[in-house]
Amino acid sequence: MCNSLFDQQVPDIWANVGFLSMKPLGSWVQDLNDRINFLQKWIDNGTPNVFWISGFFFPQAFITGTLQNFARKHVIAVDKIAFEYKIMDQTSHNDIKEKPEDGCYIYGIYL
């Protein structure tokens, strides 16, 4: 562990139980703090208007949960629905003040 910290690398013992990342130690710690802050705001203030998709440890589960919520609300089999994506290049996630009626807003996705 000491050698990893000296070399500015994430120690294996942390990487083995943490989120996947190729970042050096400093950026990894900043990312960890950002993730904690995002989740803490969710706990303190309730469901956010916009979700930081890159901040999730397993974003596939979040997407599946969003589909399940829609299916339950509209009494539709979950395997009969699919996502519709709308790219909002002209809108910052900070400008969105309300949740959508259905689905979710996300930011931080990399393709």
Rounded Cα–Cα distance for residues 14 and 95 (Å)? 35
Rg (CA), the chain: 17
Residue 20: band (very low, low, confident or very high) from pLDDT cuts 50, 70, 90 = confident
The whole-number pLDDT of residue 75 equals: 96
pLDDT tens digits, 25-59: 999 999 999 999 999 999 999 999 999 999 998 99
pLDDT tens digits, 87-108: 888 999 999 999 999 999 999 9
The 3-state DSSP class for residue 109 equals coil
Rounded Cα–Cα distance for residues 21 and 102 (Å)? 31
Decide if 21 contacts 9 (C-beta within 8 A).
no
What's the pTM value of the predicted model, to 2 decimals? 0.84
Rounded Cα–Cα distance for residues 52 and 59 (Å)? 10
